[in-house]
């Protein structure tokens, strides 16, 4: 009987989803609101059609002009200059009092100066705020096309549920990626034959610079789109629920909906996780109640809540319920395959779906149900959501004012180890005694005095790289963290600090985010079974931003309350100055990344610049090797005096040129290697080049293969992902493929092709022999083997005469920070500290073969336990191996950089390896 009912259920579902649902929801109505069907060339959600951003934007403006339920707000510009809009939807009465409700939300979110009774009164008066976005990843086409219909329905429906939602909830409908939508939709629609439409062959990244990594920029907020969204979420509106919509769903299913699998990050409030499970369960229940099968949770996909960089996961560190859905579908119809493993119902897959043809309209109906479930939950739990939002913020403030401890996986390992010699005393519950340890160990291990959480972090202005420290503080400010600036000198824990020092207290609502940015991540040792291989984490495991950016700070373990003012807006870099009055020229420290901007400005003007090869001294000022020397001239003076102010660096005027040996730096022609479709690390590198004013040209493998590269370039930069890996070899990475040239416009065909051993390597070898510089980062370090450099992969083994990669059971560092030693006397490492934290993501390390070509070890791993933040298995295998090498190839250079020294434009100190290499390589041959 059950089988028959289920079959009938599937049949009914098929009839429901193949009915003309789009036509029904787009019928004209008495409210005078333009329907999607009459507002676009073809109705969004229909087969073989995608609305682009221009059309979407025009429809938003039409709706705002026609409905008293919607207000349209400009939140800033995208990278390509398009306006980013948020459509605020609520009852007309609520829209008339938006500033009032925004103020209530801000007060509850900050949780300062409120007691529980006051907070409860505000919660009862306030409105729940829900953010629902679209378009984060532009090739995930369901979300924008769905949002068009969701908006229309919310503005026109008059049923009781809709009216209740509009009365109780303020909905912020945002779009994360206008540029990507325009590109993807235009590319898809370019073909007149609908059945030939596709977007797999788009020639470039679908968000300028970073493509899919736009959803990894949240805690940095370096892209304008992320900064705009973060300002709405964490500095203006403070939504209790942040719904970040994606695709695609698990195979053989329709949609992934929370809850997520473990691990969750131990920094955030546990109340958040229980609320997250409530909302997720509500979403599943709505789908099932509406006879929409095929949803899965937890083990159905790899999504966890560990990493802070994504829009929905950064929410957790701000006490907001972050939701992620991943749904199937697209404008080209598809089929749901029959996957036996997902056909048996269980707690994570409660209602399987039968195989069937699937249309974009089907996905839109599911998306409507999911959005509706979230909004209904927010409405029914409005005052509880608001009060709990305050409660989590208040918890954070209270924890930041007293001794508190955060238990990490390493703490539990220590507790278990201590418990081996200290079992619990016998009692009547002896059945459970095997897992018990002496209760006194709780205080001795988990709450040891030295493991207390800091109550504040103090950051002085005496930093090696002050502009980078300001960038770090601005990343915190963009995330709504309160940063104070001392109005007067003060003392903390026996240390004196001058006025102007920055203070980040942990007694603030966003304490989880503060701790996550300053303290190392301690990812669980998450394996398939005891002694087995690791479970692949969803994203990177270690990313401590203060370490990545090389920021110096002091932890303070007592409550401090110095005279200090909160910073409003973002910080400007404190102006630098010209120090002294000598007229021979200026010395500039190499430690600041901004010194490269000054250098590039001088080189662009055709002015001489040199690096002093050894340490030097000018008066009371000491300069490490690599100090920048700028001979005096009228034009040089103009550039130096103007630049030091906005760059925040000092130039020390000298009466005579330094006597030490110097290396003249010449202008360079840089080729940044990319490939058709775009490689994200290359895009991030392009962004860095533009920020630091390096001249460059993007170059594709087909051009490299033609040879004669020295006629065009002095330096070629290969970012991670630009050199294809070898299957089962020692180089990590995904295999690349190119589209059929006949399927793309002729103007893009010259970009096709991949770096190859057969064609590209000989051209690169010739380039190096002629004096060219090659920089290979991450898995692009495979070029060391292709160019027969005297380096061999250290994290590898030989099998049947071939070099193979180590298994994950043997060695596994899936995106973490590791400590490396550096020789700062070498030009490639000028300005870097003797130890530095490297970002290591299944990277490679090297040993020297000792044959022929001259090679120097610039950075290496000295410790058997180099892990600083994240997770590592087999980390001892790094000890004694080389991270970065300087190799002579003919007249030229090969700089091999195993770690990702520019990873997502986050590890600022290691940018110098790349920047130094660009300028030093060509100059070294002179």
DSSP per-residue codes, 333-366: -EEE---GGGSS-BTTBSS----EEE-HHHHHHH
Is residue 191 located within the same domain as residue 270?
Answer: yes
Question: Looking at the chain, how many residues does it have?
Answer: 926
pLDDT over 60 at 15, yes or no: no
- Cα atoms found within 13 Å of the Cα of residue 537, Cβ hemisphere only: 24
**pLDDT of 29:** 56
Does residue 258 surpass a pLDDT of 80? yes
Q: Is 413 exposed, middle or buried (0-12, 13-18, 19+ CB in 10 A)?
A: middle
pLDDT of 16 > 60? The answer is no
End-to-end CA distance of the chain: 86
Give yes or no for residue 662 having a pLDDT over 50: yes
518 and 655 inside one domain: no
Q: How many Å apart are CA 709 and CA 703, to the nearest integer?
A: 9
The domain that contains 769 carries what CATH number? 3.40.50.880
**Mean pLDDT score, 116-140:** 98
Average pLDDT across the chain, whole number: 94
- What was the pLDDT predicted at 736? 83
Query: Is the same domain home to 475 and 377?
Result: no
Give the angle subtended at the CA of 833 by the CAs of 628 and 862, to the nearest 5°: 140
Helix (H) or strand (E) holding 279, with range, is helix 270-289
Tokens of 124: 């009862």
Residues 679 and 582 in one domain: no
Degrees, nearest 5: CA angle 542-408-348: 80
User: Rounded mean pLDDT of 499-507?
Assistant: 98
Residue 31 lies in a domain: no
Looking at the predicted structure, is the pLDDT value of residue 114 above 90? yes
DSSP state of 457: E
Strands 255-256 and 321-327: antiparallel
508: pLDDT confidence band, cut at 50, 70 and 90? very high
The confidence band for 277, taking pLDDT boundaries of 50, 70 and 90, is very high
User: What is the pLDDT, as a whole number, of residue 852?
Assistant: 57
Instruction: Write the pLDDT tens digit of every residue in 196-229.
Output: 999 999 999 999 999 999 999 999 999 999 999 9
Statement to judge: residues 661 and 683 lie in one domain: no
Question: Is residue 106 exposed (0-12), middle (13-18) or buried (19+ Cβ within 10 Å)?
Answer: middle
Residue 417 placed within a domain? no
Please determine, for residue 280, whether its predicted confidence score (pLDDT) is greater than 90. Answer: yes
Quote the number of domains for the chain: 4
Instruction: Name the pairing type of β-strands 169-175 and 128-134.
Output: parallel
Give the domain range for residue 681: 670-739+747-924
Task: Kindly state the tokens that stand for 421.
Answer: 């010699």
Query: Which domain CATH number covers 81?
Result: 3.40.630.10
- Residue 495, token pair as written in the block: 């240390």
Tell me, yes or no, whether 499 lies in a domain. yes
pLDDT for the residue numbered 424 = 84
Give the side-chain half-sphere CA count within 13 A for 237: 28
- Among 365, 381, 397, residue at a domain's last position: 397
Other CB atoms within 10 Å distance of the CB of residue 707: 15
Percent share of the chain, pLDDT over 90: 90
Q: Which stretch, 24-28, 524-528, 698-702, has highest mean pLDDT?
A: 698-702
Residue 24: inside a domain, yes or no? Answer: no
Q: Do 462 and 522 fall within a single domain?
A: yes
Both 831 and 859 in one domain: the answer is yes
d(CA 555, CA 799): 49
**pLDDT of the residue at 434:** 65
Mean pLDDT over residues 239-262, rounded? 97
Secondary structure (3-state) at 229: helix
Q: What are phi and psi of 814, to 5 degrees?
A: -95, 70
Query: What does the pLDDT read at residue 41?
Result: 96
Given a cut of 60, whether residue 17 has pLDDT beyond it is no
d(CA 628, CA 626): 6
The DSSP letter of residue 50 is: -
Task: Give the model confidence (pLDDT) of 304-329 as tens digits.
Answer: 999 999 999 999 999 999 999 999 99
- What pLDDT sits at residue 853? 67
Distance from C-alpha of 792 to C-alpha of 846, rounded to nearest angstrom: 5
- Provide the pLDDT for residue 926: 61
pLDDT tens-digit series, residues 731-743: 888 888 899 999 9
Sheet of 585-588: strands edge to edge? 578-579, 651-654, 585-588, 628-631, 609-612, 662-665
Distance between alpha carbon 751 and the CA centroid of its chain, in Å? 27
Burial of 22 by CB count in 10 Å (0-12 exposed, 13-18 middle, 19+ buried)? Answer: buried
Is residue 8 situated within a structural domain?
no
Q: Running DSSP on this structure, what letter comes out for residue 522?
A: B
Instruction: Kindly give the interhelix angle for 53-66 and 142-156, rounded to the nearest 10 degrees.
Output: 10
Query: Does 839 score more than 60 pLDDT?
Result: yes
Contact 89, 82 (CB under 8 A): no
Residue 6's pLDDT band, with cuts at 50, 70 and 90, is: very low
Residue 801 confidence class, pLDDT cut points 50, 70, 90: confident
Determine, yes or no, domain membership for 6: no
In a domain, 768, yes or no: yes
- DSSP for 144-175, written as a single string: HHHHHHHHHHHHH--SHHHHHHHHHEEEEEEE
Q: Where are the alpha helices (DSSP H) in 770-890?
A: 783-786
840 forms beta bridges with 816
Domain boundary among 665, 689, 716: 665
Residues 154 and 206 in one domain: yes
Please, which pLDDT band fits residue 20 given cuts at 50, 70 and 90?
A: very low
The predicted model gives 747-757 an average pLDDT of 96
Based on the domain organization, do 482 and 525 belong to the same domain?
A: yes
- Give residue 27's pLDDT band: very low, low, confident or very high (50, 70, 90): low
Domain boundary among the residues 368, 397, 426 is at 397
pLDDT at 568 over 50: yes
Looking at residue 426, its pLDDT comes to 75
How far, in Å, CA of 258 to CA of 312, rounded?
11
Residue 917 lies in a domain: yes
Clarify whether residues 867 and 811 are in a common domain: yes
Shared domain check, 585 and 686: no
- Cα dihedral 94, 97, 99, 105, rounded to 10, equals -50
How sure is the predictor about 432, in pLDDT bands with cuts at 50, 70 and 90? Answer: low
**Angle, CA 910 vertex, CA 644 and CA 697 arms, to 5°:** 75
Is residue 189 within 8 A of residue 443, CB to CB? The reply is no
* Residues 637 and 687 placed together within one structural domain of the fold: no
**Torsion sign over Cα 717, 722, 725, 731:** positive
């Amino acid at each position: 009987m059950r089988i028959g009912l289920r079959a009938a259920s599937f049949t009914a579902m098929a009839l429901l989803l193949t009915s003309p649902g789009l036509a029904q929801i787009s019928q004209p109505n008495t409210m005078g609101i333009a329907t999607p069907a009459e507002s676009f060339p073809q109705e969004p959600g229909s087969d073989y059609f995608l609305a682009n951003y221009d059309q979407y934007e025009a429809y938003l403006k039409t709706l705002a002009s026609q409905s008293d339920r919607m207000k349209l707000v400009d939140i800033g510009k995208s990278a390509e200059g398009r306006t980013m809009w948020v459509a605020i939807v609520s009852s007309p009465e609520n829209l008339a009092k938006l500033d009032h409700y925004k103020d209530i939300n801000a007060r509850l979110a900050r949780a300062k100066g409120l007691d529980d009774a006051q907070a409860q009164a505000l919660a009862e008066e306030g409105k729940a705020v829900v953010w629902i976005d679209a378009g984060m990843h532009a090739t995930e086409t369901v979300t924008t096309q769905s949002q068009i219909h969701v908006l229309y329905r919310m503005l026109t429906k008059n049923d009781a549920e809709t009216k209740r939602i509009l009365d109780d909830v303020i909905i912020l409908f945002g779009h994360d990626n206008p540029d990507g939508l325009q590109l993807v939709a235009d590319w898809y629609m370019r073909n007149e034959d609908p059945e030939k439409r596709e977007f797999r062959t788009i020639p470039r990244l679908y968000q300028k610079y970073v493509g899919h990594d736009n959803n990894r920029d949240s805690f940095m907020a370096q892209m304008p789109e992320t900064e705009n969204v973060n300002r709405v979420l964490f500095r203006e509106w403070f939504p209790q629920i942040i719904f970040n919509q994606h695709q695609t769903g698990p195979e053989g299913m329709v949609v992934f909906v929370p809850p997520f699998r473990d691990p969750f990050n131990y920094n955030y409030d546990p109340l958040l996780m229980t609320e997250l499970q409530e909302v997720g369960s509500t979403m599943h229940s709505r789908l099932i109640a509406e006879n929409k099968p095929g949803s899965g949770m937890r083990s159905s996909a790899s999504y966890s809540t560990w990493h802070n960089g994504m829009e929905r996961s950064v929410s957790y560190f701000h006490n907001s319920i972050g939701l992620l859905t991943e749904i199937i579908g697209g404008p080209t119809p598809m089929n749901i395959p029959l996957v036996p493993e997902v056909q048996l119902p269980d707690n994570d897959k409660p209602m399987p779906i039968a195989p069937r043809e699937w249309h974009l309209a089907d996905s839109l109906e599911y998306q409507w149900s999911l959005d509706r479930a979230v909004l209904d939950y927010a409405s029914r739990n409005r005052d509880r959501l608001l009060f709990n939002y305050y409660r989590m913020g208040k918890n954070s403030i209270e924890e930041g004012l007293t001794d508190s401890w955060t238990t990490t996986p390493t703490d539990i390992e220590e507790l278990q180890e201590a418990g081996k010699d200290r079992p619990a005393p016998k009692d009547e519950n002896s059945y459970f005694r095997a897992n018990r340890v002496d209760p006194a160990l709780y205080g001795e291990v988990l709450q040891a005095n030295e493991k207390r959480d800091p109550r504040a972090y103090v950051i002085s202005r005496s930093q090696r790289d002050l502009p980078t420290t300001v960038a770090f503080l601005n990343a915190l400010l963009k995330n709504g963290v309160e940063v104070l600036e001392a109005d007067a000198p003060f003392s903390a824990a026996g240390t004196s600090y001058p006025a102007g020092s920055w203070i980040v207290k942990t007694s603030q609502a966003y304490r989880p985010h503060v701790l996550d940015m300053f303290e190392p991540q301690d990812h669980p040792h998450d394996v398939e079974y005891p002694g087995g291989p690791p479970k692949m984490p969803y994203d990177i495991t270690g990313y401590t931003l203060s370490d990545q950016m090389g920021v110096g700070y002091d932890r303070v373990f007592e409550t401090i309350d110095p005279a200090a003012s909160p910073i409003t807006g973002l910080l400007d870099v404190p102006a630098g100055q010209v120090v002294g009055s000598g007229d021979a020229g200026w010395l500039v420290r190499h430690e600041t990344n901004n010194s490269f901007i000054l250098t590039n400005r001088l080189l662009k003007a055709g002015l001489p610049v040199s690096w002093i090869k050894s340490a030097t001294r000018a008066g009371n000022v000491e300069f490490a090797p690599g100090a920048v020397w700028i001979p005096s001239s009228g034009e040089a003076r103009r550039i130096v005096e103007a630049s030091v102010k906005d760059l925040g660096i000092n130039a020390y005027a000298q009466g005579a040129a330094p006597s030490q040996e110097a290396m003249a730096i010449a202008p360079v022609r840089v080729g940044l290697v990319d490939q058709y479709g775009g490689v994200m690390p290359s895009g991030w590198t392009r962004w860095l080049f533009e920020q630091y004013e390096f001249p460059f040209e993007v170059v594709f493998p087909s051009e490299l293969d033609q040879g004669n590269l020295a006629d065009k370039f002095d330096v070629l930069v290969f970012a991670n992902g630009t050199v294809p890996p070898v299957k089962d070899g020692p180089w990590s990475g995904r295999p690349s493929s190119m589209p059929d040239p006949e399927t793309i416009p002729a103007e893009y065909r010259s970009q096709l092709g991949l770096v190859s051993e057969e064609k590209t390597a000989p051209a690169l070898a010739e380039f190096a022999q002629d004096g060219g510089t090659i920089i290979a980062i991450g898995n692009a370090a495979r070029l060391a083997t292709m160019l027969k450099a005297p380096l061999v992969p250290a994290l590898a083994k030989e099998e049947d005469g071939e070099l193979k990669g180590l298994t994950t059971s043997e060695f596994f560092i899936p995106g973490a920070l590791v400590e490396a030693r550096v020789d700062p006397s070498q030009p490639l490492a000028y300005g870097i500290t003797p130890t530095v934290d490297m970002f290591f993501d299944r990277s490679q390390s090297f040993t020297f073969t000792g044959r022929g070509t001259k090679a120097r070890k610039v950075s290496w791993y000295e410790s058997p336990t180099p892990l600083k933040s994240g997770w590592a298995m087999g980390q001892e295998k790094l000890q004694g191996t080389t991270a970065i090498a300087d190799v002579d190839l003919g007249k030229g250079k090969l700089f091999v950089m195993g770690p990702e020294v520019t990873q997502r434009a986050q590890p600022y100190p290691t940018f110098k390896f790349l920047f130094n290499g660009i300028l030093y390589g060509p100059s070294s041959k002179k």
